[in-house]
């Protein structure tokens, strides 16, 4: 089936319904299973190591590190890490009217329309199905309650991990982000070291530096300027509450406060996800 670009013109509600129907059919074709909610009391279900079709969502502020943890987990579980921000950036790199329109929106820190995001997501699912992918860890979607409702209407999300990090480090983490223009690897040059005071614990997050061969190829995202990051954070706080509530009432939300950098947080996250007993998996994702 061809991509859904054609749907972008015309009535938005109809377009979304068509895209949703299309995602559903792709999900059915791909053999995704739709198990009942597995999240209980904020603790993820213990999974069979051979089970490979998790359908999880990662929520969290810009700069929290959801891309880093979602991608590590996707390697651990053998499912694709699908980040709508990456899909948007791929589109920005192309030429044409859509790219120009998206650049303006993204560089202002605003959200692109549901229709465009669903179109990009549908195409990503289509490509995945063609490659035999099953399951997913979604990152950056849903961003609004409407997107959460659309997703819920087409597939069963088993678990939603809400990554949280104290606000005073988020801006620094965003401004420290770097991408290798050659391999696409994500790194962070920010070195966070806040001492504890007035009973509040400190936090230490060492930089995530790239290997030597990526060093000279590092670039910064155009939307990671101070002004745009502040707008993205503002928008995130405004829109995230209803999304979190949507999943909380369905018993799917796992709140996870990041205690520090990756060395400290990763084992604790695995523990919260009941994945900590697979040592070989930990080394696979390292
Ligand atoms: N689900 C979505 N709905 C609307 N816009 C999105 C969505 N996901 C990504 N975008 C667009 O792509 C940009 C980059 O997304 P992302 O990499 O997830 O950013 P962040 O670091 O702010 O979490 C967003 O600022 C937004 O313009």
CA 35, 39, 45, 50 dihedral sign is: positive
Q: Which atom of ligand 1 is nearest to the CA of 106?
A: 27
What residue's CA is closest to ligand 1, atom 6?
Answer: 111
Q: How many CB atoms lie within 10 A of CB 241?
A: 12
144-154 exposure pattern, b = at least 16 Cβ within 10 A, e = fewer: bbebbebbeeb
Q: State the Cα–Cα distance between residues 270 and 123, nearest whole angstrom.
A: 30
Q: What CA–CA distances, in Å, run from 251 to 238, 245, 247, 258, 274?
A: 22, 10, 6, 21, 17
Q: Which residues line ligand 1 (CB under 6 A)?
A: 62, 84-85, 88, 105-106, 109-112, 117, 140-141, 143, 147, 223, 232
Q: What does pTM read for this prediction?
A: 0.81
| pLDDT, block means (10 residues), the chain with 286 residues | 31 45 47 33 47 85 94 94 95 88 94 94 92 94 95 93 93 94 92 89 92 95 93 95 97 96 94 78 51
Q: What is the reported pLDDT for 20?
A: 52
Q: State the Cα–Cα distance between residues 46 and 24, nearest whole angstrom.
A: 27
Beta strand spans in the chain (E): 55-60, 81-83, 136-139, 159-164, 177-180, 186-188, 192-194, 203-205, 218-219, 253-257
Q: The complex's ipTM?
A: 0.97
Selected catalytic residue, list 124, 143, 178, 281: 143
Q: What is the reported pLDDT for 216?
A: 95
Q: Is the omega angle on the peptide bond into residue 51 within 30 degrees of 0, that is, cis?
A: no
Q: Which atom of ligand 1 is nearest to the CA of 113?
A: 4
36: three-class secondary structure by DSSP: coil
CA 235, 237, 238, 239 dihedral sign is: positive
Residue found under tokens 């995001």: 117
CA 234, 236, 238, 244 dihedral sign is: negative
Q: What is the reported pLDDT for 34?
A: 28
Ligand 1 centroid, distance to 277 Cα (angstroms)? 33
Ligand 1 centroid, distance to 283 Cα (angstroms)? 30
What residue's CA is closest to ligand 1, atom 12?
Answer: 85
**Which residues pair with residue 253 across a beta bridge?**
160
Q: Are 205 and 260 in contact (CB under 8 A)?
A: yes
Q: What is the reported pLDDT for 212?
A: 95
Selected catalytic residue, list 173, 178, 221, 281: 221
* Tokens representing residue 286 in the block: 């390292």
Q: What is the reported pLDDT for 120?
A: 93
Q: What is the reported pLDDT for 84?
A: 97
* Tokens representing residue 81 in the block: 């890490």
């Amino acid at each position: 089936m061809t991509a859904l670009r054609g749907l972008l013109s015309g009535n938005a509600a109809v377009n979304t319904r068509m895209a949703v129907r299309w995602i559903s059919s792709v999900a059915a074709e791909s053999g995704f299973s739709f198990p009942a909610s597995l999240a209980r009391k904020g603790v993820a279900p213990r999974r069979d190591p051979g089970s490979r079709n998790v359908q999880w969502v990662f929520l969290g502020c810009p700069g929290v590190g959801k891309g880093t943890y979602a991608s590590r987990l996707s390697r651990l579980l053998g499912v694709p890490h699908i980040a709508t921000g990456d899909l948007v950036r791929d589109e920005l790199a192309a030429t044409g009217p859509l790219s120009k329109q998206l650049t303006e929106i993204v560089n202002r820190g605003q959200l692109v329309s549901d229709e465009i995001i669903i179109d990009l997501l549908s195409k990503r699912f289509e490509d995945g199905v063609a490659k035999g992918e099953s399951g997913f860890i979604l990152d950056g979607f849903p961003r609004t309650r409407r997107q959460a409702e659309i997703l819920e209407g087409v597939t069963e999300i088993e678990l939603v991990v809400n990554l949280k990090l104290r606000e005073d480090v988020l801006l620094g983490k965003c401004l420290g982000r770097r991408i290798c223009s050659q391999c696409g690897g994500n790194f962070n040059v920010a070195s966070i070291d806040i001492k504890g005071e007035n009973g509040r614990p400190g936090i230490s997050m060492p930089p995530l530096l790239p290997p030597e061969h990526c060093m000279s190829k590092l670039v910064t995202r155009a939307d990671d300027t101070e002004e745009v990051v502040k707008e993205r954070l503002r928008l995130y706080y405004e829109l995230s509450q209803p999304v979190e509530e949507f999943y909380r009432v369905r018993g799917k939300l796992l709140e996870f406060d990041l205690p520090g950098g990756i060395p400290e947080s990763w084992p604790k996250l695995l523990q919260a996800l009941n994945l900590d007993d697979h040592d070989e998996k930990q080394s696979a994702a390292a």
